[in-house]
Amino acid sequence: MRPAVFLDRDGVLNTVIYRDGRPASPRGLEEFVLEPGAPEALARLRDAGWLLFVVTNQPDISRGLLQPSILAAMHRELARCLPLDEILACPHDDADGCTCRKPRPGMLLDLARRWRVSLDRSFMIGDQDRDMQCGRAAGCATIQLARPYNTGQGADHRVACLDAAVTLVLGAEFSDPRRTQLHGDRVHGPLAAGD
């Protein structure tokens, strides 16, 4: 059993875009822009041995506003640029009544079962309150990127940026004796600096 970091996509890994003044998902590749610093931030987690998953709601598929082939192309680009183990997207809308649309935890539970993830040692990082509710429902610790459009409700931690979230996760790793033991030969940096 290994711990994982589950990452929301829009507003976390790719730059948030606004439609009618609200944060929205890209509908074309020209709107899909990787967040600066995301490759380096995720590389720090990968180097420390964390499994990395993307879990994203994409209801524009169900609404007929996003072509599945465009979404697939976005995710090929994401997988090319970032050290990810798997990307899951929920294509449904509320009316579909699925178990995977966040805040429901279906995508996390599915990944946990297939990759043997210990959810109680894992993290969910996102920008929306529903990401926090989802992570909590799955039994993970939750970290929210503080934005004008979110409230911190359901978040265990609130930070300014993805890099700060990664630093929090790595701090938790080093504070967990089981994990420090498991990855004893990889302990460096923070411990050497006296943390």
Question: What distance in Å separates the CA atoms of residue 148 and residue 51, rounded to the nearest whole number?
Answer: 29
Among residue numbers 5 through 34, which ones bind Mg ion (CB under 5 A)? 8, 10-11
129 scored as a contact of Mg ion (CB under 5 A): no
Interface residue with Zn ion, options 27, 75, 92, 102 (CB under 5 A):
92
Q: Catalytic: 96? A: no
Q: In terms of C-beta density within 10 A (0-12 exposed, 13-18 middle, 19 or more buried), how is residue 167 classed?
A: middle
135 scored as a contact of Mg ion (CB under 5 A): no
Tell me the closest approach of the beta carbon of residue 101 to Zn ion, in angstroms.
Answer: 4
Supply angle C-alpha 130, 115, 140, rounded to 5. Answer: 35
The structure tokens listed for 184 are 């004893």
Question: What distance in Å separates the CA atoms of residue 11 and residue 161, rounded to the nearest whole number?
Answer: 10
172 scored as a contact of Zn ion (CB under 5 A): no
Residues with a catalytic annotation lie at: 8, 10
Q: Which residues bind Mg ion (CB under 5 A)?
A: 8, 10-11, 127-128
Q: Which residues bind Zn ion (CB under 5 A)?
A: 90, 92, 98, 100-101
